[in-house]
Copies of this chain bind each other. A is one copy, B any other.
Amino acid sequence: MKLIVQKYGGSSVADAEKIINVARRAIKAKDKDNKVVVVVSAMGKTTDRLIELAHRITDKPVPREMDILLSTGELVSSTLLTMALESMGAPAVSLSGAQAGIVTDTKHRRASILRVDTKRVQHELDNGRIVIVAGFQGATGDGSDITTLGRGGSDTTAVALAAALNADSCEIYTDVEGVYTADPRVVSKARKLPEIGYEEMLEMAYYGSKVMHSRAVEVGWIHKVPILVACSFNDAPGTLIHGGASMEAKNKVTGIAHDTNVAKVTVVGIPDRPGIAAAIFEPLTDAGISVDTIVQNSSSQNLADMTFTVARSDLSEAMRLVSPVASKLGARHIVNDATLAKVSIVGTGMVNNPGYASRMFRTLADKGVNILLITTSEIRITCIISEKNVKDAVNALHQVFELEKGEL
C-alpha cells in the first residue's frame, strides 16, 4: 500500500463544483489501494479578501492576529472538501495545520516548519480515512499560537508532510499542466518538460516560474521527495521534479524563466568604508524583505554605488527602511526603478561553458534589449532588463536555445 500526498491550490478549490472534483480525484487515488493525504489552499481569492478585511480595520494589523485570521481560509476549504468526500461515501477527516502536527517557529506571517509530528495523521490513515490537511498554517512549538507559512506555504506543507510521512509521492495539482520551457502565455511554442532536476526547478521557480514556490522545492530536494506537478482539471501527465534528471541531463538549457515583479534601488555616492552593506541590508532582513541581486561599484573618488533588487511589492517598505540609513552613511541620494524584469536561462553545465552566457547577451543585444544587471549561478544566468522588453527577450531566447524541439 502506497502513501500519496496531494496538494490542491486555491484555483482548484475555488467553488463547490471544483471541491467536488477534487474529492473525486482523491477517491480515485484511494481506490487504487493508496493511503491518501490531501493538502488544500484557501478557496480562490479568500486570502486576499481576508487581508483586505484586516486593512479596513487598521493599516498595521498585529501579525499574531493576522495569522489566526488567514488560517481560517484553509479551515473552510479543508472542511468543505471533507464534507464532499463523506457525502460521496469516502471516510475522511480534516485537520488544521496544528492538528496535523505542523510545528513552526514563532515568526508570524512567514513561519518556518521546524518539524512535523505525524502521529495523528498516521492514526487517521490507519483508520482508513482520507486525511485533509489545511495548508499554509501550523502552530508554535508549545501549541499556543497559530502561525502561517507565508509565500508558497501550502506547497511547503505538502512536501514537508510527504517527507515526514515518508510518502511514495507528492503531487502538486494546480491550474497549469506542469513546468514549461518558458511561460506558455508569453512563448507560444513553450514545451512541457516531462521531468526536471530539483536544482533547475529551484532556479526556474525562484526566477519567475509561478508553477511552484522555490521554498517547497528546496524542502523536496533536502528530503529527496519526488514531486509531480500536474493539472487538477485534467489527467494530462505533468512534470516530475526529482533528483535523477539533472544528473543525467545533457549540458543544455532546460528553460527560460522570467519575473516582472522586480524593482531596483540604487544608493548613490556612499563614502566607501567597511560595513556599508551590513548597514544597508540588516534592516531589510529584519523586516523580512528578500534582497535579490546586489551590485556594489566603487568609484575612483572613494565613493561607492550600491544597487539591489527587491520584489516590486516590497519597494516602498525598502525605500522607507533604507533612506535613513543611506543619509546616515553620507550617501548623496537614493533612486529606484519599479519597471524592471528578470529574464533567466536555466540548465545544467552552464558554468563550464561560457558559450551560453555570450549567446544570451548577443540575443538580447540583437533584439535591442538593454541589460541593467547580470547575475549567475552554476545553472542559471539572469539579466535584469526593462519590463517592456520581456516578451521579446523570452521568445528570442526560447528560439535561440531551441527549446521548442524537445529531447532528442
Contact = CB atoms under 8 A, between A and B. Distances in A.
B53 A80 contact: yes
Interface in A52-77: 53-54, 56-62, 64-66, 68-69, 71-72, 75-76
Contacts of A56: 15-16
A83 interface: yes
A47 to B, nearest CB: 13
A61 to B, nearest CB: 5
A75 B83 contact: no
Contacts of A86: 58, 62, 65
A84 interface: yes
Given A79-B65, A144-B99, A57 B84 contact: yes
A275 to B, nearest CB: 35
Interface size bracket, A side: 35 or more
Given A62-B86, A86-B62, A144-B99, A57 B80 contact: yes
Contacts of A76: 50, 53, 69, 72
A85 to B, nearest CB: 9
A139 to B, nearest CB: 11
A157 B390 CA distance: 57
B87 A58 contact: yes
Contacts of A19: 57
A124 B59 CA distance: 25
A385 interface: no
A147 interface: no
A39 to B, nearest CB: 16
Nearest to A67: B79
B68 A75 contact: yes
A82 interface: yes
B54 A80 contact: yes
A94 interface: yes
A66 B84 contact: no
A83 B50 CA distance: 13
Given A50-B76, A65-B79, A69-B80, 6 more contacts: A58-B84, A58-B86, A65-B80, A68-B79, A72-B72, A72-B75
- The 10 A-B pairs at the shortest CB distance, nearest first, are namely A58-B87, A72-B72, A16-B56, A65-B79, A69-B79, A61-B83, A65-B82, A62-B86, A68-B79, A57-B84
Interface of A: 15-16, 19-20, 50, 53-54, 56-62, 64-66, 68-69, 71-72, 75-76, 78-80, 82-84, 86-87, 93-94, 96, 99, 120, 144
